[in-house]
Structure 1
Amino acid sequence: MLFLLPPSESKAVGGSPLGIDKVALIFAAMQPAREVVFEAAVKAKLVEPDLQSAPTLPAIDRYNGTLYAAIHGRGLKGTPTEFNELTNAERERAKESIFIQSALFGLIPATSLIPNYKFSADSKLPGLNLKQHWADSHDVTWNRLVGQKVIDLRSKQYAELAPIPGSFDSLTVEVFDIESAKAMNHFNKKAKGQFIRAFLQGAETLEDMAKAANLKIEIDGSAIKLFTNQR
């Protein structure tokens, strides 16, 4: 299985001195599309021109919002797990199976080295339709991933940047309150992160992942419905 995640607006600072101008991102065929977005973002003064030489971290460490804190198993401030990190084994599993949808870089493996940036799916670029540009640029990426079952945990705006081809075996994840059956917001991200953490820790099936994350699961057609009692 492959899992698609959104990024987070919140990001960790710092990293390795190796910039993306020295460490090429995977899916090299998308590089021209990335350069178009980067140049347009620089022109619009949304990112700095020297971003490509800025320090980098693995994407799964760079993003540190609610979803990613749950993936790392981080607890509240002051708790023993406040600064929890993935193990080497969990990172290897993430490298093979987790992909993140960036508005600046396109779809990238979770362990890809990226700089700290501020640019989102709703960023406006004069003369460039970001959604259409990325949707047209991901064909080569999908060709590399064909034959895999894809579990889509991206938010709507990020899913629109790279719609999954209809020929793929794919499922979309939604999170609901277990009592009211209403869609969740903050705890949507936390539940998705816990679901992915269960996979990284060795769960092999969707049902096992849900059980390990203390979530109820229902699979309804192309939808995975997760139910949480967190409030």
Structure 2
Amino acid sequence: MLILLPPSEGKSGSGDGPPLDLGALSLAELNPARERVLAALADVVARPVPEARAVLGLSATQGEAVERNRVVRTAPTMRAADLYTGVLYHALRLPELLAGRTADAVRDSVLVFSGLWGAVRVTDPLPPYRLSMGVKLPPLGALGAFWRAEASQAIAKRAEGRLVVDCRSAAYAAAFRPDAATAARTVTVRVLRETRHADGTRTRSVVSHMAKATRGEIAHALLAAGAAPATPRELAGILTELGHHVELTAPARTGRPHVLDVVAAA
């Protein structure tokens, strides 16, 4: 099983590890592309802060993010598991998983996508930074398209022969779209909120904030249980046994992933 995750906007402010060493990161074949993104980012953050914020899609209150990017090569690092602190990662509880018997499996089973790094493992040492996959970074252009061209082969290699559980948001899904063979082993996780009305009817809606937390809970449940589903149907069965209400839908046409709806009551 390979779980694909987005990063989080929320990040820890500082680490205590050595400065960035691309040689210490997983997926070493991405390092030339990582160097290109680092160089392009350095050019942007060397501009006046308001101009840099505009390129990076940051608000007027996020000037500190520009400074983080200015020192990204020299700042202390920490594990990706400790760096990302958003809603999904709060529910995922990676430090807890990495401290237990599942540590090796967790390291091997999770890839975190990133506008700066392409994709990393949860134990990779990273400095604080801020660069969304949705940014158009001069001169590289849209980072989703850039990383799709640069990283797809490496990610497909890691996914070979494994069930892929895709918990990414739309912006990060743009960085890797599985080919037909991989799609047949891929499940896209969608979270729906079901509301029961006084007249007995039920409606469902997608709520992004709840979706982040639920995806984190799903990933934690699978990793903590040491689950190793080989097919979409096995995945749905395991999650049902773990107490989740899930519904699996087969793709409408070949070359597309299955969809797993996780249904939560409002």
Q: Same fold (TM over 0.5)?
A: yes
Deviation at residue 185 of structure 1 after TM alignment: 1.5
User: What residue number does 2:79 align with?
Assistant: 58
| 1:90 to 1:144, Cα distance in 2 relative to 1, 3 A | closer
* Aligned pairs for 1:197-212 within 5 A: 197-202=220-225, 204=227, 205=229, 206=235, 207-212=237-242
Percent sequence identity over aligned pairs? 29
1:79 corresponds to which residue? Answer: none
Report deviation, 1:181. Answer: 1.7
Count of residues in correspondence between the two structures: 219
Q: Can you give the 5+ residue segments of structure 1 that lack an aligned partner in the other structure?
A: 74-83
Following superposition, the deviation at residue 120 of structure 1 comes to: 0.7
- Cα distance in 2 for partners of 1:89, 1:53 equals 33
Aligned CA distance change for structure 1 residues 210 and 187 (closer, same or farther; 3 Å): farther
TM-score for the superposition, normalised by structure 1: 0.87
Question: Aligned letter for 1:209?
Answer: L
Is 2:147 the partner of 1:134?
Answer: yes
Q: Residue 148 of structure 2 aligns to which amino acid in structure 1?
A: A
More helix by share: 2
Distance 1:48 1:152 in 2: 28
Structure 1 residues 90 and 66: alpha-carbon distance in aligned structure 2, compared to 1, 3 A threshold: farther
CA separation of 1:17/1:60 partners in 2, compared to 1, >3 Å: closer, same or farther?
A: closer
Q: Show the 5 A alignment for 1:64-103.
A: 64-72=85-93, 85-86=96-97, 87-103=99-115
What SS does the aligned partner of 1:171 have? strand
Give the deviation of 1:196 after TM superposition. Answer: 0.8
Deviates more, 1:198-207 or 1:130-139: 198-207
- CA distance in 2: counterparts of 1:61 and 1:48, whole angstroms: 18
8 Å CA contact 1:29–1:140 kept in 2: the answer is yes
- Which 4+ runs in 1 deviate beyond 4 A? none
Read off the aligned partner of 2:113 and give its amino acid letter. Answer: Q
Aligned to 2:260: 224
Give 1:34 shift: 0.7
Q: Does 129-138 or 45-54 show the bigger shift?
A: 45-54
Kindly indicate whether residue 67 of structure 2 is the aligned counterpart of residue 38 of structure 1: no
Mapped to 1, the partners of 2:27 and 2:128 lie a distance apart of 20
Paired residue for 1:184, among 207, 214, 220? 207
What per-residue deviation string (whole Å, max 9, x for no partner) do you get for residues 5-56 of structure 1? 0000000122233222275211111101111111101101156343123211
Q: Please give the TM-score of this superposition, normalised by the length of structure 2.
A: 0.76
State the 1:110 CA deviation. 1.8
Bigger Rg, structure 1 or 2: 2
RMSD of aligned Cα (Å): 2.0
Indicate if the aligned counterparts of 1:23 and 1:113 stay in contact, CA closer than 8 A. Answer: no
Question: For the residues of structure 1 that align with 2:22 and 2:186, how far apart are their CA atoms?
Answer: 34
1:196 aligns with 2:214: no
Amino acid across the alignment from 1:161: A
